[in-house]
């Protein structure tokens, strides 16, 4: 999806979310936060846990009290995540957090609680908070990436929402994937193929 098309999609999703009655300042805050997050994509992929751990620590280590399932593999992660989350919701265990990717319409789909995307106002607030914390990440660790920022924001939202269990999908994968800063409990693997070797090795 081109940048123009994605921006139009985000605008439509914002209105459909019920936030269309938000003030001009609230709408501007959301779109500014989103633009700042997307700008981090230019930093590309830099595997390592240090930046994510620093972000989470700066947010009060919200991940530490959240158990769950970390799903990795080459194919089928999204399907397995959806099925596991659905089963957990049916058991009545409590609120279930998810981090599906990629999103279809809006970035907010990457942070779900009981299948519902985070609201635009909360998304903007959390991304702003995480970006502020990112300024304090030691330079020797490098600049936090878009995925690392989203990962930290997701766990902060899960903690604020009193999520009982999280079902988290890895990014690129491997032991240095940002999601491994969590260490939430059970790891689940789908089919494994030889890919991303330029980052993960052989």
Average pLDDT in the 19-36 region?
Answer: 83
Name the residue range of residue 129's domain: 3-200
Per-residue confidence (pLDDT) for residue 122, from 0 to 100: 97
Residue among 180, 201, 197, 199 at smallest CA distance from 49: 180
Q: Indicate if the pLDDT at residue 11 is higher than 80.
A: no
What's the structural domain count of the chain? 1
Burial (0-12, 13-18, 19+ Cβ within 10 Å), 97: buried
Residue that wins the pLDDT comparison between 22 and 196? 22
Per-residue confidence (pLDDT) for residue 102, from 0 to 100: 87
Per-residue confidence (pLDDT) for residue 42, from 0 to 100: 62
Percent of the chain with pLDDT over 90: 63
Residue that wins the pLDDT comparison between 89 and 40? 89
Q: Indicate if the pLDDT at residue 195 is higher than 70.
A: no
- Domain CATH code at residue 182: 3.40.1190.10
CB atoms within 10 A of CB 120: 26
Q: What is the pLDDT of residues 110-157, one digit of tens each?
A: 999 999 999 999 999 999 999 999 999 999 999 999 999 999 999 999
């Amino acid at each position: 999806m081109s940048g123009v098309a994605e921006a139009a999609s985000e605008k439509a999703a914002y209105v459909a979310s019920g936030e269309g009655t938000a003030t001009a300042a609230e709408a501007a805050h959301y779109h500014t936060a989103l633009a700042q997050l997307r700008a981090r994509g230019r930093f590309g992929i830099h595997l390592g846990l240090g930046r994510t751990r620093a972000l989470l620590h700066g947010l009060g280590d919200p991940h530490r009290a959240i158990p769950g399932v970390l799903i990795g593999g080459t194919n089928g992660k999204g399907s397995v995540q959806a099925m596991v989350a659905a089963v957990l919701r049916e058991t009545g265990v409590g609120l279930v957090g998810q981090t599906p990717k990629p999103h279809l319409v809006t970035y907010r789909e990457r942070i779900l609680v009981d299948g519902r995307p985070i609201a635009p106002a909360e998304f903007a607030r959390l991304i702003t908070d995480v970006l502020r914390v990112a300024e304090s990440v030691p330079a020797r660790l490098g600049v936090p990436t878009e995925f690392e920022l989203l990962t930290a924001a997701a766990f902060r939202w899960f903690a604020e929402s009193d999520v009982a269990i999280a079902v988290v999908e890895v990014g690129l994968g491997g032991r240095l994937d940002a999601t491994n800063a969590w260490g939430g409990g059970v790891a689940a693997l789908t089919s494994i193929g030889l890919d991303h070797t330029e980052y993960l090795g052989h």
